């Protein structure tokens, strides 16, 4: 068995280099084909009719006019009469037509009668009303240690209320697919994070064998945790395809529907009480929280509180799950973590303010409650250096005269990121060409690039000599891209598969070099005898020895036996510098310092890109993003990008990324990085605003109305 | 989008002949940055779309004996690069700079800016211009954080125009053409608060085209200040445009107009009068700004906009004299 270990840092030639993305030119030039770009011969276009009511019963559907509408080829009823609708945007019927316009016209001609109940509840932040309506389900009290005594022993008790609303994923490419189903077999071109698994999910919905579904996807335009399943619209579009004789049908949500029903990050709100000794040591923690994941309640795991500082000895939790009439939650980049980071770091910052201590001191003082005190200490100090904490930090509210105030804040996070199970197949052809196949997907994170780098490193070839095929469920199976598991899973599988193939190549060429296979190495495009550079063959000459039979080998990552190639568990710290215009309440992010550990880094450029992208998402969540549901109509009023606000490039300030590439982290192997850097930013920005204006703005996003209201309260 | 007939006239007369006598028959297309969205959402379902971009006489920025004539199809980008506008009307340049999208600057026209429909999310979700449900205003009792602080039942949306306030402050007029002739209207009278669902928020009639804007040549110190949450493309939360006729360092007469705070741009005559004979400084500007927002009647969620409008007026005044 080959030695799969990663080469020592000083011997890596391609791993660890900031190479450009292999699919960069295709994406920049528009040649890359996304699911929405797929056009199959004879393809029809579908449009979706959704419910305008948040709570209603479908009593009648009349499709007769729609059937006669020009170009309409078929109609699939999704919510039959009798169906009870629990949120606006629920799928009612799909119309397939020869053009998208005809499909939309057809949708408008379907007549649906509803019994409208008008008793919907959409204001999840309003716990009192939720309780009155019986829409809040308490999950009981959980107590650790003796919080009552600890609060008595505390020198200082800080109390606060914080909340973070639902936000959506805002995938630039909305959910959907092109799908053809002839009643037996399915050609499926979804926008998915789960190439190897989504076919089986669709098959279940269609009640056909999983093997009958062929999935292919070249590129995905964003997923962020919302694109693992085939979804109702996938299954129903396939059924409609069968109805129209197996013709392929293209359906993707329009922006409004995408925001309404394609998933959101759940909200959480809560009241917090933190007890500490004079020196800043936290001894007691109490939180009463409520959250919603949509109509089903659920939502958020409040047991993650206090976040990172898990070992605070005396704790009391109460949590309620609130049911609302709104589209359901889905995993959103680091599920739960940005929310609980914001809640926890806000409570600690407020405690520091009450103690009249520098919050950095308080964070450092309590690191013994975390799982990695030394990592966090180093990260916090690094972030402090990057943001200029020593020279710029001032006690809360003491930010000078003039309407524009500045402030600094801290956030921290943690994540797993252990690689998923994955298998890759490597074929070395006698002409020297190398083909890798793996049923994975590149979410725009650089998966193609890091697989190619890993293979090139292992085979001693330049990256251009590697042909990589991903995005098809006919290739060996790889895990879904969730939980920051892809880089670990695919790089480890690639490492093993390429070295397994190389071992076979060594066996084939060893005789011609007069050596034993285990004396050979692959380097610089050659196969050579270790320690004797005069004995070598070029890669092509070596492969020619294979005659007419290619080498085929596979390699698998198994997370139960990672073999030193991968690991999980990281920390990260971020610090923000903001300016707040106290006459307008407008917050401007000046700088976000991002410090992240992530094990061995295969490509520092794509790794840093993950941090930049994550930081921008955190900035959006801190300052702009919020799902606004209307109490009267139950509608998601800002389900369009003019009032569902996202940062533009001028709004993100300076983002400075420091990847924690110490020898200790490197030795752990590859750890996923997709999610962790999105976690601490909201907390850091919210704390910076509190520091700037001298008062906590209890809810994000930190919009002018909320900032001005907080200032008003401070004056009062 | 509902299917429609597309007309591409080459002359104004031809275009006017293609319009209808009631709303819904025909829509005029210039940049299309608003109309296309309205049509995709089925808020507008015109039977005919009349493209006026090909009509030469509707373009161009020229000096006239009375001032400056701006053709209705002049784009935001053309306005921004016009030396004539830059030298005399910084209030218009600053309003244009607030439209932070190259695409919209390149496509959007000044006439379209004046004629665009409100961005009220109830209106855009299909609940009508006045957003009434069961005889009650959805806005007054609902999500109104971006709505009017100078509204009155039944109109609580805000005028979305970027240039309206500045043009009013500058004393500009619009020229409206129909087959029976043309009429001129002060921009201040072009915007109207609708009383019923059948009314529009502008004085334009369905058979008319806004052909040009006439800005008088009086020398003023003028400025616009927009409060937007984002630097990137974002609807303003409140804006103010001011024009000051000066006697040396002192104000002879002033005009103050606030935007995005009411169903029409909102003039503040009392605040403007209070500036007469004064030198603008921080204190004077602050006081005038407080006067300007005195009549505000905020809704349940938008009291903060009073402060924003105040800040906008103060900053516009200070910008005008800086």
Q: Do A635 and B1 touch (CB under 8 A)?
A: no
* Beta bridge partners of residue B251, listed in sequence order: B246
Q: A580, A693 in Cβ contact below 8 A?
A: yes
| A199 pLDDT higher than 80 | yes
SS3 content of chain B, % helix, strand, coil (to 5): 30, 25, 45
| A279 pLDDT higher than 90 | yes
Q: Measured between beta carbons, which residues in chain A are less than 8 angstroms from residue B133?
A: 632-633
Q: What is the largest CA-CA distance in chain B?
A: 59
Give the mean model confidence (pLDDT) for residues A248-266. Answer: 97
- Determine the pLDDT at residue A286: 97
- Determine the pLDDT at residue A113: 98
Give the mean model confidence (pLDDT) for residues A39-56. Answer: 97
Q: Provide residues of B within 8 Å CB-CB of chain A.
A: 1-3, 42, 100, 119, 121-122, 124-127, 133, 138, 141-143, 145-146, 227, 229-235, 237, 301-302, 304, 307-308, 311, 314
d(CA A334, CA B80): 44
* Beta bridge partners of residue A536, listed in sequence order: A528
Give the mean model confidence (pLDDT) for residues A659-686. Answer: 96
CATH of A9-32+419-557 given 3.40.718.10, 3.30.1490.20, 3.30.365.10, 3.40.640.10:
3.30.365.10
Q: Do B100 and A647 touch (CB under 8 A)?
A: no
Give the mean model confidence (pLDDT) for residues A642-654. Answer: 96
Residue A695, token pair as written in the block: 């008062």
Nearest-CA residue of chain A relative to B145?
A705
| SS3 label, residue B264 | coil
Mean pLDDT of chain A: 97
| SS3 label, residue A636 | strand
- Determine the pLDDT at residue A388: 98
Residue A279, token pair as written in the block: 């020196």
Other CB atoms within a 10 A radius of the CB of residue B307 amount to 24
**What b/e sequence results for A590-607 when a residue is b if at least 16 CB atoms lie within 10 Å of its CB, and e otherwise?**
bbbbbbbbbbbbbbeebb
Give the mean model confidence (pLDDT) for residues B285-296. Answer: 98
d(CA B144, CA A142): 39
Q: A115, A129 in Cβ contact below 8 A?
A: no
d(CA B9, CA B50): 7
Q: Do B133 and A651 touch (CB under 8 A)?
A: no
Q: Which of A156, A162, A151, A159 is nearest to A312 (CA)?
A: A151
Q: A473, A215 in Cβ contact below 8 A?
A: yes
Q: Which residues contact A142 (CB under 8 A, 6 or more apart)?
A: A303, A315, A316, A317, A318
User: Which band of pLDDT confidence, cut at 50, 70 and 90, is reported for residue B167?
Assistant: very high
- Determine the pLDDT at residue A397: 83
d(CA A322, CA A630): 17
User: Which band of pLDDT confidence, cut at 50, 70 and 90, is reported for residue A533?
Assistant: confident
Q: Which of B50, B96, B95, B57 is nearest to B75 (CA)?
A: B96
Give the mean model confidence (pLDDT) for residues A203-223. Answer: 98
| SS3 label, residue B316 | helix
Beta strands in chain B (DSSP E): 5-7, 26-29, 48-51, 61-63, 67-71, 132-133, 136-137, 173-178, 181-186, 209-216, 221-227, 238-247, 250-259, 266-267
| B77 pLDDT higher than 80 | yes
Class of A336-417+567-715 in CATH: alpha beta
Burial (Cβ within 10 Å: 0-12, 13-18, ≥19) of residue A129: middle
Domain ranges within chain A, ordered by starting residue: 9-32+419-557, 37-117+175-252, 336-417+567-715
Give the CA angle between residues B46, B51, B52 to the nearest 5°: 130
Q: Which of B318, B319, B294 is nearest to B306 (CA)?
A: B294
Interface with B, mutate which of A45, A584, A700 (most B CBs under 10 A): A584
The distance of B180 to chain A (nearest Cα, Å) reads 37
| SS3 label, residue B199 | coil
The distance of A312 to chain B (nearest Cα, Å) reads 39
Q: Measured between beta carbons, which residues in chain B are less than 8 angstroms from residue A642?
A: 119, 235
d(CA B111, CA B102): 18
- Determine the pLDDT at residue A283: 98
| A348 pLDDT higher than 90 | yes
Give the mean model confidence (pLDDT) for residues B99-123. Answer: 97
| A140 pLDDT higher than 90 | no
| A299 pLDDT higher than 80 | no
Task: Choose the closest CB to A635 out of B3, B125, B231.
Answer: B125
Q: Do B307 and A649 touch (CB under 8 A)?
A: no
User: Which band of pLDDT confidence, cut at 50, 70 and 90, is reported for residue A160?
Assistant: very high
pLDDT tens per residue across span B238-247:
999 999 999 9
Count the residues in chain B: 322
Give the mean model confidence (pLDDT) for residues B94-121. Answer: 97
| A297 pLDDT higher than 90 | no
Percent of chain A exceeding pLDDT 90 equals 96
d(CA A308, CA A412): 8
- Determine the pLDDT at residue A303: 80
The distance of A489 to chain B (nearest Cα, Å) reads 38
Task: Choose the closest CB to B230 out of A647, A705, A708.
Answer: A647
Q: A107, A49 in Cβ contact below 8 A?
A: yes
| A300 pLDDT higher than 80 | no
Nearest-CA residue of chain B relative to A712?
B304
Task: Choose the closest CB to B231 out of A584, A630, A650.
Answer: A650
Domains A9-32+419-557 and A336-417+567-715 share a fold: yes
| A70 pLDDT higher than 90 | yes
The distance of A259 to chain B (nearest Cα, Å) reads 14
| A675 pLDDT higher than 90 | yes
User: Which band of pLDDT confidence, cut at 50, 70 and 90, is reported for residue A110?
Assistant: very high
User: Which band of pLDDT confidence, cut at 50, 70 and 90, is reported for residue A1?
Assistant: confident
HSE of A487 in the Cβ direction (CA atoms, 13 Å)?
Answer: 30
- Determine the pLDDT at residue A400: 84
What is A37-117+175-252's CATH number? Answer: 3.90.1170.50
| B151 pLDDT higher than 90 | no
| A715 pLDDT higher than 90 | no
ipTM: 0.97
d(CA B40, CA A285): 52
Task: Choose the closest CB to A651 out of B42, B231, B301.
Answer: B231
- Determine the pLDDT at residue B294: 97
Q: Measured between beta carbons, which residues in chain B are less than 8 angstroms from residue A637?
A: 121-122, 125, 143
Q: Which of A126, A94, A54, A49 is nearest to A636 (CA)?
A: A54
Q: A440, A490 in Cβ contact below 8 A?
A: yes
| A301 pLDDT higher than 80 | no
How far is CA A113 from each of CA A79, A83, B43, rounded to the nearest angstrom? 12, 11, 22
Give the mean model confidence (pLDDT) for residues B171-194. Answer: 98
What is the SS3 assignment for A353-411? HHHCCCHHHHHHHCHHHCCCHHHHHHHHHHHHHHHCHHHHCCCCCCCCCCCEEEEEEEE
């Amino acid at each position: 068995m080959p030695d799969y270990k990663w080469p020592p840092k000083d011997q890596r030639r391609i791993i660890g280099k900031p190479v450009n993305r292999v699919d960069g030119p295709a994406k920049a030039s528009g040649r890359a084909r996304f699911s929405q770009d797929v056009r199959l011969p004879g393809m029809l276009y579908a449009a979706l009719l959704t419910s305008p009511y948040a709570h209603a019963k479908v009593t009648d559907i009349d499709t007769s006019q729609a059937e006669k509408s020009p170009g309409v080829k078929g109609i699939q009823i999704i919510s039959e009469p009798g169906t009870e609708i629990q949120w606006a945007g629920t799928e009612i019927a799909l119309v397939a037509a020869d053009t998208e316009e005809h499909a939309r016209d057809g949708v408008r001609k379907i007549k649906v009668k509803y019994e409208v109940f008008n008793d919907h509840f959409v204001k999840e932040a309003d716990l009192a009303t939720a309780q009155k309506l019986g829409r809040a389900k308490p999950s009981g009290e959980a107590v650790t240690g003796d919080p009552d005594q600890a609060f008595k022993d505390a020198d200082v008790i800080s109390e606060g209320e914080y909340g973070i609303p639902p936000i959506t994923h805002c995938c630039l490419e909305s959910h959907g697919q092109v799908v053809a189903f002839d009643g037996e077999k399915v050609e499926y071109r979804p926008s998915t994070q789960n190439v190897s698994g989504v076919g089986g999910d669709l098959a279940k919905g269609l009640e056909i064998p999983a093997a009958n579904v062929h999935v292919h996807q070249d590129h995905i335009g964003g997923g962020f945790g919302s694109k693992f399943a085939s979804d109702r619209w996938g299954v129903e579009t396939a059924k409609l395809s069968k109805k129209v004789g197996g013709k392929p049908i293209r359906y993707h949500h329009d922006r409004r529907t995408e925001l309404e029903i394609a998933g959101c990050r759940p909200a959480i709100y809560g009241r917090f009480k933190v007890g500490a000794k004079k020196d800043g040591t936290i001894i007691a923690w109490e939180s009463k929280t409520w959250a919603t994941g949509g109509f089903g309640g659920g939502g958020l795991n409040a047991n993650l509180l206090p976040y990172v500082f898990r070992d605070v000895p005396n704790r009391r939790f109460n949590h309620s799950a609130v049911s609302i009439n709104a589209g359901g939650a889905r995993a959103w980049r680091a599920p739960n973590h940005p929310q609980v980071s914001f809640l926890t770091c806000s409570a600690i910052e407020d405690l520091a303010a009450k103690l009249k201590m520098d919050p950095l001191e308080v964070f450092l003082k309590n690191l013994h409650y975390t799982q990695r005190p030394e990592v966090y200490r180093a990260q916090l100090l690094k972030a402090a250096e990057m943001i200029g904490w020593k020279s710029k930090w001032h006690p809360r509210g003491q930010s000078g005269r003039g309407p524009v105030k500045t402030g600094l804040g801290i956030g921290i996070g943690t994540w797993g990121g252990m690689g998923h199970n994955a298998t890759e197949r490597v074929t070395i052809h006698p002409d020297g060409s190398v083909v890798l196949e793996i049923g994975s997907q590149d979410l725009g994170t650089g998966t193609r690039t890091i697989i190619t780098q890993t293979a090139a490193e292992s085979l001693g070839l330049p990256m251009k000599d590697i042909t990589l095929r991903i995005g098809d469920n006919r290739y060996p199976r790889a895990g879904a891209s969730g939980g920051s598991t892809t880089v670990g899973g695919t790089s480890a599988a690639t490492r093993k598969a390429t070295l397994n193939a190389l071992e076979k190549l060594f066996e084939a060429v060893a005789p011609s070099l007069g050596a034993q296979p285990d004396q050979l190495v692959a380097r610089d495009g050659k196969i050579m005898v270790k320690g004797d550079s005069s004995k070598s063959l070029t890669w092509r000459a070596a492969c020619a020895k294979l005659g007419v039979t290619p080498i085929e080998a596979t390699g698998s990552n198994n997370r139960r036996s990672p073999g030193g190639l991968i690991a999980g568990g990281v920390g990260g710290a971020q610090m923000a510098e903001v300016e707040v215009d106290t006459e307008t309440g407008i917050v401007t992010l000046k700088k976000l310092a991002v410090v992240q550990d992530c094990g061995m880094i295969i490509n520092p450029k794509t790794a840093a890109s993950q941090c930049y992208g994550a930081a921008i998402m955190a900035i959006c969540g801190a300052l702009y993003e919020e799902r606004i549901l209307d109490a009267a109509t139950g509608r998601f009023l800002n389900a369009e990008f003019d009032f569902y606000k996202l940062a533009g490039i001028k709004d993100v300030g300076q983002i400075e990324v420091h990847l924690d590439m110490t020898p200790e982290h490197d030795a752990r192997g590859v750890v996923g990085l997709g999610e962790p850097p999105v976690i601490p930013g909201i907390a850091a920005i919210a704390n910076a605003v509190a520091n700037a204006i001298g008062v906590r703005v209890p809810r994000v996003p930190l919009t002018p109305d909320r900032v001005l209201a907080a200032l008003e309260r401070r004056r009062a | 989008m509902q299917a429609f007939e597309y007309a591409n006239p080459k002359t104004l007369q031809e275009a006017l002949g293609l319009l209808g006598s009631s709303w819904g028959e025909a829509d005029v297309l210039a940049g299309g940055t608003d109309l296309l969205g309205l049509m995709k959402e089925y808020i507008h379902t015109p039977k005919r779309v009349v493209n006026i971009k090909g009509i030469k006489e509707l373009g161009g920025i020229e000096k006239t004996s009375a001032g400056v004539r701006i053709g209705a199809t002049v784009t935001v980008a053309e306005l921004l690069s016009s030396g004539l506008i830059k030298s005399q009307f910084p209030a218009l340049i600053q309003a244009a700079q607030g439209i932070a999208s190259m695409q919209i600057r390149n496509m959007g026209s000044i006439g379209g800016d004046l004629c665009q429909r409100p961005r009220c999310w109830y209106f855009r979700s299909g609940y009508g211009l006045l957003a009434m449900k069961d005889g009650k205003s959805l806005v007054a009792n609902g999500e109104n954080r971006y709505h009017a602080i100078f509204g009155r039942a039944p109109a609580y949306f805000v005028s979305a125009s970027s240039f309206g306030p500045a043009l009013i402050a500058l004393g500009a007029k619009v020229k409206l053409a129909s087959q029976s002739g043309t009429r001129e209207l002060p921009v201040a009278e072009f915007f109207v608060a609708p009383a019923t669902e059948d009314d529009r928020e502008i004085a334009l009639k369905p058979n008319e085209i806004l052909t040009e804007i006439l800005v008088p040549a009086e020398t003023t110190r003028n400025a616009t200040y927009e409060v937007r949450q984002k630097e990137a493309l974002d609807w303003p939360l409140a804006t103010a445009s001011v024009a000051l006729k000066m006697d040396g360092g002192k104000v002879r007469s002033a005009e103050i107009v606030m935007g995005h705070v009411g169903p029409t741009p909102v003039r503040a005559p009392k605040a403007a009068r209070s500036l007469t004979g004064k030198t603008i400084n921080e204190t004077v500007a602050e006081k005038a700004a407080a006067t300007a927002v005195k009549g505000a009647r905020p809704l349940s969620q938008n009291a903060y906009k009073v402060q924003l409008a105040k800040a906008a007026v103060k900053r516009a005044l200070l910008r005008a004299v800086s």
